[in-house]
Structure formats: C-alpha cells, structure tokens
Structure 1
C-alpha cells in the first residue's frame, strides 16, 4: 500500500480564506529555469464557526511528467495542456548495486513517456527524462509530477531541450499559502513561499497539521 503525505489545515481567522498548496522545486540538471505549479486550491471557513478542515494528500510515489505548451511559462497562467505521466524510481547513491527504474524516454507524437528503465549515470536521488528531437513551438515541459488527492499534477518543471537528458531530484517539502492560484497554474515560488506554512516531510514524517492563526501567523505540527 502506497504511503500518503497529509496536510490538515484549520482557518482560525474570522474570514473565509482560500488556500493553495505547492512543492519546493526539485533540483534539476540538464535544463534551464525551474517553474512551479499550484497543486491544489480550496476555500475554508473559520474553524470555530464551521468546524471545517482542509485536507491535502500527496502519494509518495514519484512521477515523471511531460506537458505540451503553446508558450513559455507565465505566472498566473496554466502551464500547458496535453500531458503524460510515468511512475518512476530514484537513482541510488554512488556505490549501490541496485538498479531501479529511474529513466524514461519521451515521445512527441503521440505525447508520452516510455516504461521506466534503469539508466547508468543518473544523479543520485533523481530520475531522468530523455527528450527526442523536436522544433518549438510547441514547447514541452518536463519535471516532477505528484498524485494529489487522486489527481496527477505537474508540480515543478523546466522547459525541455531537444535531444537532451534532464535529471530531476524531487524534494519532499510542501507549502500552504493563502491566495487564488488554482491547480496547474504557474506561480512565483519565491514570493509565495515567503510567510507561508512549511510541511517538511524529509525527516520521515507523514502528517502535518497546519493552522492559520487569527493574527496571520502559521502554526505547524509534524507527526
């Protein structure tokens, strides 16, 4: 049974707030600028008035993603349209004899990702996406996708180069912020992560309880 990472949110402010969730960008090699998408967004009323809580769940399974786009990423716009995903493993540390399925090869027509296979030379803790020859536009985003509340979403990405290897090392840190970025919308990670709530699952925790306090501060508790 797969492991779920869970963030439970309470709103202790008097007004209904809209929250969105996003992930710390992966470490990439073989690509350009890194972009982030909102993973989920929902409104939540005051906890004392409604008793309501907002639950965000991410499957710990890693996914490689590719997405077709008509333009370069723009903050506030959807990152793209047609997409494909592939469950994938992460490359082992140097010196390991294991051979996980840590690499997938993309196709453009039709858009897709081939079955993951072992590839030598992938960065430790990362997976690799191999892109074929193509001429832009259209553009192609490749990166880390996650299964959020049962839906797979491209979490963070780079614009792919043709005939290129992109290594992506996901980071298990998620953030909660107030705002209106809907799922799949490009956001400014630096601006959005400032004064946000951090759920750091890198230490093996699987649940983070988050409260937006009446004074605008955040409280978090990992378990």
Structure 2
C-alpha cells in the first residue's frame, strides 16, 4: 500500500488546525481536532489557566514482547491550542478510533533515530525525507477463537497484507511477519501501532525498528495521555507520562473530560 509522503499530508493537517484556531479567536466555534477516522472515543480538553495553551495527545507505549529491550518511539496524534474555558467557552475535542491498526513506515533512506525525530518535526513544507506508510485494521489475539491477528509486511513496494490468523501470536497482541532484509547501520523501517486521521494520513503511534525474518508481536493499549506543548500530528515526541492527563478507555468509558487547572495540574474524568 503506497501513500503520499507524510510531510506533504501533514500540511493539510496543520492548515485544518490553523483554521480551527482562527475560529476560536473569532469566538465562533470551540477548537476541534479529530485524530482518527471513526470517533468511537472522545477526549474533551478545557483550559482553566489564564493563558492560551497548546495541548497534544499521545498513546501509551505498546509492548513488543518479541524483541529484547527495544527502543520504542512515540508520536503526537493530535495537537490544538485553546484559551481560557471560563471566559471563552472554547474546548478541544479529540476524536479517537477504537479500532486497532498495524502500521509500517519506510523513510526511503537511512536516518538515525535522532535525525528521524528532528526531520519529522521540521516545518511540513520542508520535505527532506520522503516516507511511505501502510496500515491495516487488525484484531488482537483472544484466549479462544481464531481472530485475524497477523499481517505480512512486504517491502518493495511497502505494504501490509489482509490479516489472517496466526497461532503463535500472544494473547492481547497482533503480529506482523517481517521478511528477510538487510538492516542498514541505522534503521529505515519502523513498525507498530498506527492511527489514521480524518484525511486518512497514517501516523505511527508507538513503533520500533523490527528484526528481519521474524514475527513482530505488538501489544497495544487504548490508553491515551494529554499534556501541554506544541507537537504537530505525526511528530515524534519524548514519551513522558509525568504531569499528563491519563484517559484509560480500557475501563469502559467512551469519553474523558480533561481539565487543565490554573496551577498547572490535570484532572481527567471518564463518562459514558
């Protein structure tokens, strides 16, 4: 499955976010940032501080039990700014998809993890490294039954097969069969949990450089965090749960309301 370069697609995301910010400043509509395609989950963010703040969403890092001490990378899934809720009535609505996606990304050339982070956080108009991304809706392994829990990765061109049952994938995980390839001195291929936003751009949420000729197993959790800062969708972020609101959708809630208090602390409350 080929796609447009991530940088090109991110321009549209930023333009949409800028349009929403303009609407907030004009007092027309609350800020809205829909991150994925089907809004099964929702995070509402209200800012009680006296200054306009940027907030971004990231997912709890997945576990990769098939790898030993992997270096796990994380990405921002949505970002928006909003002013004081009491004076403006404005809030941010982040829409999240309950569907699990397996994803893969190839940078097309070798870059170190630090360079990769720097490159994808550059302004979207500076498309220095082209990328190809692929994603497939997938089902996690259950204690019984034969779910479609495993997809096969192809590299030339990059793509993921229609998922099928694989007996050796751990419970709670999905699998990705990685073909034989020769890793360069630094990775150019990343695989893990993916998210799709409204224009179908694919963002890797929690991902690693996979081992060749092996089945990569990934255990994702539908737990998301909100914190302050400007991190455009798709940009790699330093994973840190400290002073972040935890929205744990595995508890059965469909909506979380996140309050950012004037003293810089968060309060997250789940609802139906």
Structure 2 Cα separation of the partners of residues 76 and 209 of structure 1: 32
The answer to whether the 8 Å contact 1:132/1:164 transfers is: yes
- What's the Cα RMSD here? 1.8
Cα displacement (A) at 1:201: 1.1
The answer to whether the 8 Å contact 1:73/1:186 transfers is: no
Higher strand residue share: 1
Q: Does 1:10 align with 2:57?
A: no
Structure 1 length-normalised TM: 0.91
Residue in structure 2 matched with residue 146 of structure 1 by the alignment: 195
Deviates more, 1:104-113 or 1:76-85: 76-85
Residue in structure 2 matched with residue 112 of structure 1 by the alignment: 159
Tell me the SS of whatever aligns to 2:225: strand
Number of equivalenced pairs: 217
Cα displacement (A) at 1:149: 5.0
Residue in structure 2 matched with residue 63 of structure 1 by the alignment: 101
The answer to whether the 8 Å contact 1:66/1:142 transfers is: yes
Gaps of 5+ in 2: 1-37, 122-128
Residue in structure 2 matched with residue 103 of structure 1 by the alignment: 150
Cα displacement (A) at 1:82: 1.2
Residue in structure 1 matched with residue 5 of structure 2 by the alignment: none
Residue in structure 1 matched with residue 80 of structure 2 by the alignment: 42
Residue in structure 1 matched with residue 268 of structure 2 by the alignment: 220
CA displacement 1:36-72 (0-9 Å, x = unmatched): 1111111111112321110111111110000013323
The answer to whether the 8 Å contact 2:259/2:267 transfers is: yes
Match of 1:200 among 248, 251, 263: 248
CA displacement 1:119-158 (0-9 Å, x = unmatched): 0110101000111122234621000112345644210001
4+ residue runs over 3 A deviation = 147-152
Higher helix residue share: 2
Structure 1 Cα separation of the partners of residues 51 and 133 of structure 2: 37
The answer to whether the 8 Å contact 1:16/1:44 transfers is: yes
Structure 2 length-normalised TM: 0.75
